[in-house]
Structure 1
Amino acid sequence: MHVVAWLPWRLKLWVGKVIGLLAWRFIKRRRHITETNIALCFPEKSADEQHRLVKEIFIANGMGLVETATGWCRNAESLRHRVAYHGQENLARAQAQGKGVLIVGVHFSTLDLGGALHSLFFSADAVYRPHNNPLFERFMTRARSQVFGQAIDRHDLRGMVRRIKAGRTVWYSPDQDYGRDVSVFAPLFGQQAATIRLTAKIARLTGAPVVPLMYHRNPDNQTYTITCLPALDNFPSGDEVADATRVNEFIEQAIRKHPEQYLWLHRRFKTRPEGEAGVY
């Protein structure tokens, strides 16, 4: 990863593009999942348009792998010239309340590089899913801890609450399917998606403002944009479905701006409402 991280930028992203194209060609299961997601979420697109988008998704996620290496292995300060940050005042205003902040992010291919770039402006802890391989888990945790203040296991609710109550900003991405037991069904791209209740629960337990954050690779493939939106008003509302719907509205808004950069390779709609057949 260190070697890739220090390659010239254009060469590095070309390597990522090749990785993405190879994955698109040979990892048929992930391609099927992605094709299913795109068909569900973009029914207005023609078959050819969906096919092109799926290919672009694999390319973008291949680039995301080398960007992750860069975010983990390069000093973020050396990348400052590559990022524009819009809406910094929204996060600063939320932090000024003194209650800690919960950042709601999205699983874009630029996630880890976005975290490194974000650290140039604000310090934040990050919630993550531990890797099944213990060696890679140690490497990943160490790398992310150099970018974020603390890496928090996604199952460690007490840890999240404790850090926020201590005044920390915690970065958390609630856009995956965590199963029926911890979710409610809320609309996402016209689908009833199992949406984790934890976002509203953390906000209720801590009183912290919830701030949506977007980050993407620009068309030049050289620079990146981070956009911080104002904190959600009247959140949580006490209505679990309404709160989950508001979170999903932001997630869909963010994805629609750059659909090819989202992690469509995961089974976002694997948990179905009662009586509905599986889609994958």
Structure 2
Amino acid sequence: MSTDQTDPEEKPPLADRLANAAFLGLMKLVRPLPYEKRIPTVGWIFSHVLGPLAGWRKRIRVNLAMARPDLDASEVKRLTRAVPNNAGRAIGEIYSGKEFTRRIEQSDPLYGPGLPALEEAARSGRPVILACAHFANYDAFRAALHAKGWPVGALYRPMNNEAFNEHYIPAMQAIAEPLFPRGRSGLAAMLRFLKGGGWLALGFDQYDRHGVELSFFGLPTKTVQTPAELAIRYDALIVPISAIRQADGLSFRVLVGEPVPHGEPGQMMQSLNDDLEALIRLHMEQWLWIHRRWKQLK
């Protein structure tokens, strides 16, 4: 993440610039393809080229050995390819701009037991915490909510590669705004937005060393409490939300889960962990098993 001390004229490291150039070259290569071929092509490249080079297959196997030791070898092998494929598709979709958002808008994909509560929050101007994860394409639900005219914002972490941020952040902004960077520069604006009735997408599925130890797939892991704490502080509705990639590999349905009752923050976050785990078990390839979710166990 960039800091306030960074010299704006200082160039990113050479390795970052080379990696960024390779990525932009890939995007330029696939851009002429029709959308229906472009997205699977990027998925294939992530699965068969980037995944092995980046060591993702090994990390996926390590995580699965801890969280799902019941899986047989053939399923583990499938997931080491399917998880990067989904990640690549998501990147291809984000960089497809209007083609991606237009598909979301036309499909009206929102459903689930929490949807009536979202509609009521929109009518009443109540703030909303959208508890989300790195599942399928987490920008798909932002596009779906934005298409309804609902005030959806998101907290994001800038990539360590600053050269990549120069085009990645604008690509996310084109899907829906506002976006708030992690850190002091975005915190005050984010809180004003939420206090004023905004809807804020907050991820909770990565390891947080400052979090509380909760259970995920039956294993202890540190989980951020911020979504629950902000919901309590600002009397915000808090709902789990996930875009689920459909069998065609291109379309989505956006599941709005049951609102989480306000209570003790740790209990609220455990409820969200349990909800996410149940969803992942149904669609194992759609969660980003590349994360080090159980760092303390390795």
Q: TM-score, normalised by structure 2?
A: 0.81
Contact 1:67 1:112 (8 Å CA) reproduced? no
Q: 1:76 to 1:58 in 2, by over 3 A?
A: closer
Q: Which residue of 1 aligns with 2:239?
A: 211
Q: Which residue of 2 aligns with 1:101?
A: 128
How many Å apart are 1:78 and its aligned residue?
Answer: 5.2
> Separation in 1 of the partners of 2:36 and 2:289?
24
Q: Which residue of 2 aligns with 1:63?
A: 89
2:152 matches 1:127: no
Give the AA of the match of 1:27.
A
> Separation in 1 of the partners of 2:215 and 2:259?
21
**Aligned residue pair count:** 266
Structure 1 residue runs without a partner (length 5+)? 273-277
Q: Which residue of 1 aligns with 2:284?
A: 259
Q: 2:202 aligns with which of 172, 183, 190?
A: 172
> Separation in 2 of the partners of 1:205 and 1:49?
43
Contact 2:138 2:242 (8 Å CA) reproduced? no
Q: Which residue of 2 aligns with 1:137?
A: 165
Structure 1 counterpart SS, 2:236 = coil
> Separation in 2 of the partners of 1:11 and 1:147?
21
Q: Which residue of 1 aligns with 2:52?
A: 25
How many Å apart are 1:259 and its aligned residue?
Answer: 1.4
Q: Which residue of 1 aligns with 2:101?
A: 76
Q: Show the 5 A alignment for 1:158-169.
A: 158-169=188-199
How many Å apart are 1:5 and its aligned residue?
Answer: 5.5
1:74-131 deviation line (CA, Å, top 9, x unaligned):
4723553345221443311233343311111111241224433432123300110012
1:257-277 deviation line (CA, Å, top 9, x unaligned):
21101111111111x2xxxxx
Give the AA of the match of 2:137.
T
Higher mean alpha-carbon deviation, 61-70 vs 261-270, is at 61-70
* Alignment RMSD (CA, Å): 2.3
> Separation in 2 of the partners of 1:76 and 1:64?
12
Give the AA of the match of 2:189.
G
> Separation in 1 of the partners of 2:272 and 2:105?
30
Q: Which residue of 2 aligns with 1:224?
A: 252
Q: 1:218 to 1:5 in 2, by over 3 A?
A: farther
Q: 1:27 to 1:3 in 2, by over 3 A?
A: closer
Q: TM-score, normalised by structure 1?
A: 0.85
How many Å apart are 1:139 and its aligned residue?
Answer: 2.4
> Separation in 1 of the partners of 2:189 and 2:108?
30
Contact 2:130 2:240 (8 Å CA) reproduced? yes
Structure 2 counterpart SS, 1:96 = helix
Percent of aligned pairs sharing the same letter = 24
Contact 2:35 2:99 (8 Å CA) reproduced? no
1:25-80 deviation line (CA, Å, top 9, x unaligned):
3332x22211111111212212222222222212222222212212x454723553
Contact 1:95 1:169 (8 Å CA) reproduced? no
Contact 1:4 1:12 (8 Å CA) reproduced? yes
Structure 1 counterpart SS, 2:174 = helix
How many Å apart are 1:13 and its aligned residue?
Answer: 2.6
> Separation in 2 of the partners of 1:57 and 1:227?
20
> Separation in 2 of the partners of 1:50 and 1:135?
34
Structure 2 counterpart SS, 1:219 = coil
Structure 2 residue runs without a partner (length 5+)? 1-26
Contact 1:125 1:150 (8 Å CA) reproduced? yes
Contact 2:132 2:242 (8 Å CA) reproduced? yes
